[in-house]
Amino acid sequence: MSKLYGGIEGGGTKFVCAVGTGPDDIRAEIRFPTTTPKETLAQAVDFFKGYGDLAAIGIACFGPLDPNPDSVTFGQILPTPKPGWTGADLVGAMRSAFDLPVGFDTDVNGAALGEYRWGAAQGLDTFIYLTIGTGIGGGAYVNGRLLHGLLHPEMGHIPLPHDLARDPYEGNCPFHKDCFEGLASGVAMEKRWGQPAGTLPADHPAWELEAHYIAHALASYVYTLSPQRIIIGGGVGQNESILKMVQQKVLVLLNGYVQSPAILENIRTYIVNPGLGNRSGVAGAIALAQLVDEEK
Ligand code: ZN
């Protein structure tokens, strides 16, 4: 019988906790708003207390965070503009309630691992999972393992060419103003166009500009990490009008320089939406639990 795992998808506005063996076998799931760390983590603990036979717990959370098990701040949220959450100790909260291994990583690294195990990245050893929604973040799986390095990648904050004549919107990243996230997150779209991204019609010029920014970011990732595939999730990233435009613009930007059939002949299977759809997050948390259980 398959082992049962607990997964926490920690988001800026909501937490999702689940128990299961994988995305097709979620036995129970609960979601609640992200409030204070104390209250939010207590709700997660209460939920898992109903399941006595878990093998491990995985936490896939918004960052920045410390995913290094050898660090003194492992398991914590690093300085964040989100009120009250700087220093929140997610792994500590789970370890003090349960005698279980606890896996901990960014939401996007978790989602990448979930896509590797069950979704659109099966069989690959180097790929990227990017989410474009309220914020923008990217996880990377490189040479068969999740990429951490110093902390974890911050793909949402790379600088992009910003033509102020074409797009006078100054950008809304609190750290860099017009970085990728500052120009292309769902929040940036809403501020630029004066209405929520989800309500912009398919023929609105917003989508062409959005695809332009996403394609520039993707071209940089192709040049730097040489991914075998790029998976784009999130509410904006999974908008129907955008994927095809992004694929075509990436081809134009690369201009034939990266000589791989995966790009030159198969762009539609190179830049894709998640195989797990909106389940990437929870599946990622379960996958992180499995990983820490396998590595213990
Ligand atoms: Zn930024």
Ligand 1 center–CA 231 separation, angstroms: 21
Domain 4-110+278-295 in CATH 3.30.450.20? The answer is no
For the record, the structure tokens of 6 come out as 């607990």
Quick one: angle between helices 205-225 and 186-193, nearest 10?
A: 150
Residue 207 contacts residue 241 (beta carbons within 8 Å): yes
For all residues of the chain together, what is the average pLDDT? 96
The structure's pTM equals 0.96
Segment 267-275 shows an average pLDDT of: 97
Ligand 1 center–CA 274 separation, angstroms: 24
Ligand 1 center–CA 133 separation, angstroms: 14
Over 70: is that where the pLDDT of 191 sits?
Answer: yes
**CATH fold for domain 120-273:** Nucleotidyltransferase; domain 5 (3.30.420)
Ligand 1 center–CA 262 separation, angstroms: 30
Residue with tokens 């996958």: 287
In single-letter form, the type of residue at position 138 comes to G
pLDDT tens column, 68-119: 999 999 999 999 988 999 999 999 999 999 999 999 999 999 999 999 999 9
Over 70: is that where the pLDDT of 1 sits?
Answer: no
Ligand 1 center–CA 36 separation, angstroms: 24
Domain residue spans of the chain:
4-110+278-295, 120-273
Ligand 1 center–CA 169 separation, angstroms: 15
Equal CATH topology for 4-110+278-295 and 120-273: yes
Segment 242-259 shows an average pLDDT of: 97
Ligand 1 center–CA 91 separation, angstroms: 27
Over 90: is that where the pLDDT of 198 sits?
Answer: yes
Distance CA 211, CA 272 (A): 14
Angle at 184 between CA 23 and CA 177, to 5 degrees: 125
The pLDDT > 70 percentage for the chain reads 100
Residue 282 contacts residue 6 (beta carbons within 8 Å): no
Angle at 48 between CA 46 and CA 54, to 5 degrees: 155
Segment 145-162 shows an average pLDDT of: 97
Residue 97 contacts residue 49 (beta carbons within 8 Å): yes
Ligand 1 center–CA 126 separation, angstroms: 25
| The pLDDT of residue 93 | 98
Ligand 1 center–CA 172 separation, angstroms: 8
Over 90: is that where the pLDDT of 296 sits?
Answer: no
| The pLDDT of residue 52 | 84
| The pLDDT of residue 222 | 98
Residue 230 contacts residue 258 (beta carbons within 8 Å): no
Pick from 264, 244, 245: nearest CA to 254: 264
Ligand 1 center–CA 122 separation, angstroms: 31
Distance CA 58, CA 98 (A): 12
Over 90: is that where the pLDDT of 41 sits?
Answer: yes
Ligand 1 center–CA 155 separation, angstroms: 9
For the record, the structure tokens of 158 come out as 């790379």
Distance CA 137, CA 86 (A): 19
